[in-house]
Amino acid sequence: MTPIVDLRSDTVTQPTADMRIAMAAAPLGDDVFGDDPSVNTLQEKIAALLGFEAALFVSSGTQSNLCAILSHCQRGDEYIVGQFAHCYRWEGGGAAVFGSVQPQPLQHQVDGTLSLEDIEAAIKPDDAHFARTRLLALENTLGGKLLPFEYLQQATQLAKSKGLATHLDGARLFNAATAQAAVTGTDVRKEARRIAGCFDSVSVCLSKGLGAPVGSVLCGSREFIATAHRIRKMAGGGMRQAGVLAAAGTYALDYHVDRLAQDHILARRLAEGLADVPALQVEAPQTNILFVDLVGSAKSRSVDLLHYLKTNGILATGLYRLRFVTHLDVDVAGIDRAIAAITRFFEA
Ligand SMILES: *Cc1c(COP(=O)(O)O)cnc(C)c1O
């Protein structure tokens, strides 16, 4: 049987054989007592890598963003965030539900940024009518788009000049850093640190392109992480011998950062392979996520296409637009099978 080509998300990866060996060998302890050496190693490693004082291993990106927003904001505060940001749109409204923190969503520009004018206009004056604007939350990459580094500097400087804290949902920070390093010609880790350095706190998913089975890390000052640690406890996120999972994250940081460039190459290969299909409008991918729109008479055919692909062993999603995500369990042969199947569908 030919293997399934699963392009639904970079979360679907299985831990590699060597990652499993690292997990099996991890020294463990009770992390609620702070006793798990493998959790501590991961937290120290990511904090040092991104230039922060401290870090916290959490169960998911959603829990990480929740801990971050509730650490930066109190009840009755608000955070400025993009309409399509994960920590506004895709997390069940958690900050509002659990923290009584209201979002102030803003429309994105075409490049994924929030305009500086919009951000400034959304910051409420100190007046009893308004929620207190406390935080600017950005996301990079956003829908696979790399936010320009100069923009990150400007937006976070604006926020700081207005007394706002800044949080980066860097679920795919290392994909952003990989794309940025390809432009600047420098090192991926250096670019990750430059991006992270613009923010007071940064969340990174280990379970996406980095290929760990579970977990995210939240980075910030020692004081911020102490607050986040308390909120993680309230959210039920105090895990015990979590080092078996953290060891996968440490392994991923050591061995899976430099290979992200391969995922970006495969996304481009898919885009190029579909460029000549008349029914499709293909957005040039900047990282590992490719969005494709059906155009003209094909517009209504996305459900049929996804079904056809599934019967051919190829999985993708299409909630807003067709989305194909590359990752460490996809190879050139899989991408070429996807191109062939999509092309066949529209020729039939
Ligand atoms: C996936 C994702 C999250 C949430 O991560 P989970 O581990 O699925 O909760 C947060 N932000 C962004 C940008 C993501 O892509």
- The answer to whether residue 6 is domain-embedded is no
For 193-215, what is each residue's pLDDT tens digit? 999 999 999 999 999 999 999 99
For 145-190, what is each residue's pLDDT tens digit? 999 999 999 999 999 999 999 999 999 999 999 999 999 999 999 9
Number of domains in the chain: 2
Q: Do the Cβ atoms of 218 and 225 come closer than 8 Å?
A: yes
Q: Do the Cβ atoms of 212 and 249 come closer than 8 Å?
A: yes
- The answer to whether residue 5 is domain-embedded is no
Q: Is 313 exposed, middle or buried (0-12, 13-18, 19+ CB in 10 A)?
A: middle
- The answer to whether residue 198 is domain-embedded is yes
Q: Which residue shows structure tokens 């804290």?
A: 165
Whichever domain contains 85, its CATH number is 3.40.640.10
Shared-domain flag, residues 119 and 251: yes
For 324-334, what is each residue's pLDDT tens digit? 999 999 999 99
For 17-43, what is each residue's pLDDT tens digit? 999 999 999 999 999 999 999 999 999
Strand segments (E) across the chain:
5-6, 54-58, 77-82, 102-106, 132-139, 165-169, 201-205, 216-220, 280-282, 289-294, 314-315, 322-325
Shared-domain flag, residues 56 and 144: yes
Considering the entire predicted model, what is its pTM? 0.97
Question: Is the C-beta atom of 288 inside 6 A of ligand 1?
Answer: no
Give every strand in the sheet of 322-325, ordered side by side: 280-282, 289-294, 322-325
Question: Is the C-beta atom of 205 inside 6 A of ligand 1?
Answer: yes
pLDDT band at 320 (very low <50, low <70, confident <90, very high): confident
Question: Is the C-beta atom of 139 inside 6 A of ligand 1?
Answer: yes
Shared-domain flag, residues 229 and 153: yes
C-alpha 301: how far from chain center: 29
- The answer to whether residue 188 is domain-embedded is yes
Q: Among 208, 217, 317, name the best residue to mutate to test ligand 1's pocket (greatest count of ligand atoms within 8 A of Cβ).
A: 208
Shared-domain flag, residues 214 and 301: no
Shared-domain flag, residues 134 and 275: no
> How much of the chain exceeds pLDDT 70, in percent?
100
Question: Is the C-beta atom of 60 inside 6 A of ligand 1?
Answer: yes
Map residue 323 onto helix, strand or coil.
Answer: strand
Q: Residue 73's closest CA among 91, 98, 51, 50?
A: 98
- Residues contacting residue 250 through CB under 8 Å, at least 6 positions apart: 22, 38, 41, 42, 45
Q: Using CA atoms, how far apart are residues 332 and 334, in angstroms rounded to an integer? A: 5
> How much of the chain exceeds pLDDT 90, in percent?
97
Sign of the Cα torsion 146, 150, 156, 162 reads negative
Shared-domain flag, residues 108 and 189: yes
Q: Do the Cβ atoms of 17 and 212 come closer than 8 Å?
A: no
- Vertex 195 angle, CA 118 and 251, to 5°: 135
For 61-96, what is each residue's pLDDT tens digit? 999 999 999 999 999 999 999 999 999 999 999 999
Q: What pLDDT is stored for residue 342 in this prediction?
A: 97
Shared-domain flag, residues 43 and 59: yes
Whole-number average pLDDT of the chain: 97
Q: What pLDDT is stored for residue 337 in this prediction?
A: 98
Q: What pLDDT is stored for residue 1 in this prediction?
A: 64
Of 255, 274, 308, the residue that ends a domain is 255
Of 223, 255, 287, the residue that ends a domain is 255
- The answer to whether residue 4 is domain-embedded is no
- The answer to whether residue 276 is domain-embedded is yes
Shared-domain flag, residues 21 and 111: yes
Of 234, 255, 276, the residue that ends a domain is 255
Sign of the Cα torsion 20, 24, 30, 34 reads negative
Number of helical H runs and strand E runs in the chain: 14, 12
Q: What pLDDT is stored for residue 190 in this prediction?
A: 98
pLDDT band at 348 (very low <50, low <70, confident <90, very high): confident
Q: Do the Cβ atoms of 106 and 81 come closer than 8 Å?
A: yes
Q: Stretch 239-258: mean pLDDT, rounded?
A: 98
Whichever domain contains 329, its CATH number is 3.90.1150.10
- The answer to whether residue 94 is domain-embedded is yes
Shared-domain flag, residues 264 and 251: no
Shared-domain flag, residues 226 and 114: yes
- The answer to whether residue 315 is domain-embedded is yes
Shared-domain flag, residues 179 and 288: no
Domain of residue 36: give its range: 12-255
Question: Is the C-beta atom of 263 inside 6 A of ligand 1?
Answer: no
Report CA(60)–ligand 1 centroid distance (Å). 7
225 pLDDT above the threshold of 90: yes
Shared-domain flag, residues 150 and 296: no
Q: Among 67, 174, 205, 327, name the best residue to mutate to test ligand 1's pocket (greatest count of ligand atoms within 8 A of Cβ).
A: 205
